[in-house]
A and B are shown apart, each in its own frame.
Chain A
Amino acid sequence: MKIKLMLLAVSLVSFSSASAGFDFGKLLEERLSKELNKDKQTQPTPAQTTTPAPAAAQSAAASPPPANQKIDARQLGFALFGDYSLEEENRIGRQISGNLLGAVPLVRDNKLQNYVNLVGKWVALQSGRQDVTWHFGVLDTEAINAFAAPGGYIFVTKGLYRLLNNEAELAGVLGHEIAHVTQKHHLKVLKQSSLIGALGQAASSKAKGSDQVVQNLIGNGAEIMARGLDKNAEHEADRAGMVYAARAGYDPWGLPSVLQDMAALPAGDNRTSLLYKTHPHPADRLAALGEAVDGRLDAVRGKELADRFYRIK
């Protein structure tokens, strides 16, 4: 499979440079979405190296494609084939998180932030993914939402935190976001969008510490966080989030309880507008979870820990 991809990469790149008029981007898109979907059928192999990518980058650099095709040779080297390396994943996660924090800062309450990091880390320890450094932060906005970025960056908003009643609910919400990282949902979306030619369109940022190569990959600012994932990824994260919280010893019904509280909010509440743009409605998520859970968690007895739950001022 890998050799095939490498051959494909080299042949595609050299082929396109030989015939400048050919729609290179479109060809790549079609051929690769086929390859990627084929990949989906098989089990993802851990730590696929990016060997094919440098090959592609080199041939592309040797004979750069015409400027109007918007494909930057540097991004061709950014794991166009195979999975992103851990280092690339971290770079992507840091850039997205730094941008998100540029839109909305952390709540200035160290006790709160420390508490959320302790709960989050404990839940993440049950997720089976320990190659990333987990970071958790509460964002200072009344919007009701939560975000995950590759590399283990997890955020909940103050508005969502205010809806929570106990530690098990927090664990469930964090579990959902942790699952987006363990399942690499955003990396998959990013891979696809970079393949269909969204490269090199980001406005150049002069901000200190900003990584322009990654920024070109992820588009403007933190817009990737506003684009959302497909609903199957959200349902998958709901299932995994419940399981991670339960494995951590919490009552597994924390996440569904939060979804119930969201479902009960009045329609058109402005605090949920971005959330519902990027997530299925809580009613749909509850129904999908109901199908998957049924009686499977009836025997699980976990803790809610309402007493220890840190109440926000």
Chain B
Amino acid sequence: MKTFLIPAAVLVLCVTAASAWAAPGTVLRNEKLYSQPSASAKVAGTVAKGASVGILAKQGGWLRVTSGKTTGWIRLLSVRAGAGGLGGTRVGDVVGAATTRSDPSRVVAVAGLRGLNDEDLKRAQFNADELARLDALSVMAAQARSFARQSGLAAVNVAELPKPQPEQSSSPWGDN
């Protein structure tokens, strides 16, 4: 009994710590905050695109967030984690990434961690031995099905998601 209580206590502590600590996030579109993680739950408030929230917890496709005095559940895809604000294109890391072509030393600069940059890819020589190793790892459909069954995974019908309305009339080839 005692040995069970200790991990339980640790778990409770962790959960409490997690909910007390709010990670920063930014709202990606005008949204409702619900009292429960469900679109049929009572609406507790609204948040506007670009608003900052504190992320308290995650459950399936929902995040529990605080916005001002309101706390509620918002769709996971309506918030971005991190303090980077709205959108990504103007964030510094993207600009930084573009400069690595002329300065490949930047990529391997982190504490000896090996990176992988476009120069590495361009210089790469065909490695038949590694490819043979990869071939040998391939599994049969029957193995995959049995693996899925072991954890109770079963195929379900899920409809394709619709293609969003075109934002601009650019050709599918452009904008690379």
Interface residues of A (CB under 8 A from B): 33, 36-37, 40, 94-95, 97-106, 110, 113-114, 117-119, 121-122, 125-126, 130, 133-137, 139, 141-143, 145, 153, 157, 167, 188-189, 192, 205, 207-210, 215, 219-223, 225-233, 235-236, 239-240, 242-243, 246-253, 256-257, 260-261, 263-265, 267-274, 276-277, 280-284, 286-293, 295-298, 300, 302-303, 305, 308
Contacts and interface: CB of A to CB of B under 8 A. Distances in A.
Interface stretch (B3-11, B13-21, B64-72, B140-148): B140-148
Nearest to B23: A264
B160 A284 contact: no
Nearest to A229: B176
Contact of B145 (A125, A189, A210): A125
Contacts of B76: 253, 256-257, 260
| Interface hub of B75, B124, B126, B139 (most chain A Cβ within 10 A) | B126
Contacts of A288: 164
A207 B171 CA distance: 38
Contacts of B84: 263, 267, 283
Interface in B140-160: 140-141, 143-145, 147-148, 151-160
A106 B123 contact: no
A205 B151 contact: no
| Interface hub of B76, B156, B173 (most chain A Cβ within 10 A) | B173
B58 to A, nearest CB: 7
Contacts of A274: 97, 100, 107, 115-118
Nearest to A223: B122
13 contacts: A98-B131, A230-B174, A247-B158, A264-B82, A270-B115, A273-B96, A274-B117, A281-B89, A283-B84, A287-B28, A288-B164, A292-B163, A305-B153
Contacts of B123: 103, 220-221
Given A118-B139, A273-B100, A103 B115 contact: no
B102 interface: no
Given A103-B116, A270-B109, A271-B115, 4 more contacts: A99-B127, A249-B156, A256-B76, A300-B156
Given A222-B121, A230-B175, A157 B126 contact: no
Nearest to B38: A298
Interface of B: 23, 26, 28-29, 38-39, 58, 60-61, 75-82, 84, 86-89, 91-94, 96-98, 100, 106-110, 113-118, 120-128, 130-131, 133-135, 137-141, 143-145, 147-148, 151-164, 171-176
Contacts of B97: 272-274, 276-277
Contacts of A223: 118, 121-122
A118 B93 contact: no
A231 B175 contact: yes
Contact of A249 (B134, B155, B164): B155
Contacts of A298: 38-39, 61
A21 B144 CA distance: 58
Given A145-B116, A298-B61, A249 B138 contact: no
Contacts of B122: 219-223, 226
Nearest to B115: A143
A37 B173 contact: yes
Nearest to A308: B151
Contacts of A157: 116
Contacts of B100: 273-274, 277
B125 A114 contact: no
A98 B121 contact: no
A205 B81 CA distance: 44
A135 B157 contact: no
Given A260-B80, A296-B161, A135 B135 contact: yes
Given A243-B161, A267-B93, A303-B151, A284 B137 contact: no
B128 A209 contact: yes
A35 B161 CA distance: 28
B110 A101 contact: no
A227 to B, nearest CB: 7
B161 A99 contact: no
Contact of A137 (B121, B128, B137): B137
Nearest to A244: B158
A117 B139 contact: yes
